[in-house]
Structures are given as C-alpha cells and as structure tokens.
Amino acid sequence: MRSLRALAALLVGVCLVLAGCGQDEADSAAAGEYPSEQIRLLVPYTAGGPTDIAARALAAYMEEELGTSFIVENLPGASGATAYQELIASEADGHTLSMTALPTAVLNYLINDVGYTREDFAPIGVATQIPSAILVPGDSPYQDLESLFEAARANPGSVTVATPGATNTHAAETMRITELYDVPLTVVPFEGGSEVKTALLGGNVTAGFTNVSQDMLPALESGEIRALAVGTEERLDYVDAPTFTELGYPELTQSTTTFGLIAPAGTPEEAIQELEDALRSASEDPEVVEALDPNYVPEEFIGSEGLEELFIDVEETFGDVLGG
C-alpha cells in the first residue's frame, strides 16, 4: 500500500512538472518570443547567383545569432515577382523572409501588375551593394564617356548598349541618359550580366551598362573590357574609371544594385528589430564579409529605415521615365 501511495505521489509530481513546462511554453508564446520556429528565406533568383550567395552566407550566420534554423528556398521567376508573391501570402510573423534586389524589385511593380508595391514589404536591412558602370570592349575606339556620347549624338541609334534585362535598373538608367542629356542610346537587353560580358567581348554591341560584379572584374583587370564611368557618388578603388558625377552627369547615381532583406508588411516590430540586429552583426563579421566580398559590403550598415528610403528613391527616380 505504501509503495502504491509513493507511486501515486510520484505521478502527481511528474504531472505538475509537465503542466508547469506546458505553462512556460504557453507563456512564451503569449509573450511573442521570436523566433519560435525555423525561418524560411526566399531567394527570387536561381542558385549560384549573387543574391543566392548572399542569402546563404547570411543564413548560416543568422541562424546561430537567432538560435533557429534557416531554410533557403530559391523561387526564381518574373523578375522576382514569384518570390515576393509567396512572401506577402505568408503569415507576417517574421518566419518567412525574402532577399530583394533594388532597383529591379521596384521597377517590376512600377511597370507590371504584379499584385504588390513597396507598402506590402517590411524592410529589414541591406546585405550588399554592387555598383554599375558603362563598359566598352578593350579595343573600342571610345577612350572616354564623352567620345561615346558624341558618337551617339552624331548618329542617333548607332550606339548600342547591352543591359542585363529589358526593364531593370540599367535599361532604365540608359533611358534616363537619353531623356536628361539628349544622348540617343539604343538599349539591347540580354538575360543577365554574363551575357552582357559575352556580347562586349564578342564586339556585338558598342557598350554595356551592367553591375561591376565579381565575374566582371577579371575582364576589367586584364583590359579585355574597359570602364568609361561608374555610377557611384565616389570613385571605386577596384575600378579605374571616373564617376558620372565627375564627368558632369550628377543625376546618374541610381544604378547600384542593392541586395537586402525584407519581410511581409505587418511583421511585428520586435521581430524586425531582432532581424535587423542579426543582419547588422553579420555585416560586421569578418567571415561573412569575406563570403559576401568586402568590395560590396557597405562601410556603414544600412538598416530598416535606410532600405525603406532606397525603395522610395527608386520610385521617385524612375517613376516618370517608366510612365509610373
């Protein structure tokens, strides 16, 4: 009988402990502790590209920082729209995120009916920024930007400019050159930056306007391709070329591609802050910076508010040009 009472007492004790654990979990859930489950990180492009590389480097660091696993999921298609539509259809609890590439993400909803705008996103922060440049083949007769522009003015339509897409920032910026400075350039869209490089090396276009990404640097360093101007406010220490601003074209500073992190609109501020802090720490970690490439990690971290401002700047810059 005594043993039965002891067993009963033990069972009661176990039940009380389990009940207490259950209450602790309930209290944690009620308190909205974040994160409470694994995080999906959507990538709007195929595996192996700069957006995917950035996503995987960040995910590996942030899952340690936040104490939960990250599942990187590639959802390419429609210039990023496939991933963004999946993002905004997800619960706004901070457990589904997406990489984004500006200005392309903004240009897509300015031009096309994709079912979302900037207001459907909650910006978290910037991972990398990759500048752009006007490039020519190494044996091009054009030694500087002005000679290229003079040729275009002298013979409208004759100067062809390869861009990595028909509706991306580089095509739009080329259109702005024509609109703002009366330089009649002909846009020749390709599928991506590697195709632009191939067209330049093959002499199939007069010039190219594209990102100065890692895959472009070897051709620049060897002299197979030359940069006539870069679209940054200050000179780059790894590209031997002046800025558009130096050459008298101060408006042409919007072609840099910004890779950032976003969540669905309505995601709790506490979750956004946790994610922003983790992204900030990642951008300061030497191993992460090396994986992302130090050339492309901003010297000063750009957080949620800064990324929001970039969305607005792109809208204001390209809206009129694209008829938005």
Tell me the two tokens of residue 233: 């406010």
Query: Helix, strand, or coil here: 183?
Result: coil
Q: Do 122 and 262 meet the contact criterion of CB atoms below 8 Å apart?
A: yes
* Amino acid 10: pLDDT: 42
Strands 207-211 and 160-163: parallel
Provide the whole-model pTM.
0.84
Q: Do 138 and 228 meet the contact criterion of CB atoms below 8 Å apart?
A: no
Provide CATH code, domain 39-129+257-318. Answer: 3.40.190.150
The DSSP annotation for 29-66 comes to HHHT-S--S-EEEEESS-TTSHHHHHHHHHHHHHHHHH
The upper half-sphere exposure of residue 189, i.e. CA atoms within 13 Å in the direction of its Cβ, equals 11
Provide CATH code, domain 132-230. Answer: 3.40.190.10
Query: Helix, strand, or coil here: 316?
Result: helix
* Amino acid 322: pLDDT: 60
Query: Helix, strand, or coil here: 125?
Result: strand
Query: Helix, strand, or coil here: 210?
Result: strand
Residue extents of the structural domains in the chain: 39-129+257-318, 132-230
Which residue in the block uniquely carries the two structure tokens 């861009």? Answer: 163
d(CA 50, CA 53): 5
Domain 39-129+257-318 matches domain 132-230 at the CATH topology level:
yes
Name the stretches of the chain with pLDDT < 70: 1-32, 321-324
How do residues 164-176 score in pLDDT, each as one tens digit? 888 788 999 999 9
Alpha-carbon torsion (148, 151, 156, 161), positive or negative? negative
How do residues 94-140 score in pLDDT, each as one tens digit? 999 999 999 989 999 998 999 999 999 999 999 999 999 999 999 99
**Which residues are paired to 121 by β-bridges?**
264
d(CA 45, CA 54): 12
* Amino acid 321: pLDDT: 67
d(CA 216, CA 135): 10
Helix (H) or strand (E) holding 25: helix 2-31
Report the C-alpha dihedral over residues 106, 110, 114, 118, rounded to 10 degrees.
50
Strands 225-230 and 186-189: unpaired
Tally of CB atoms within 10 A around 71: 12
Helix (H) or strand (E) holding 308: helix 304-318
The set of residues, in sequence order, having a beta carbon less than 8 Å from that of 116 and lying 6+ positions away, is: 84, 85, 88, 109
Report the C-alpha dihedral over residues 126, 86, 121, 60, rounded to 10 degrees.
-30
Query: Helix, strand, or coil here: 165?
Result: coil
On the question of a cis peptide bond just before residue 141, with omega within 30 degrees of 0, the verdict is no
The set of residues, in sequence order, having a beta carbon less than 8 Å from that of 29 and lying 6+ positions away, is: 36
**Mean of the per-residue pLDDT values of the chain:** 89
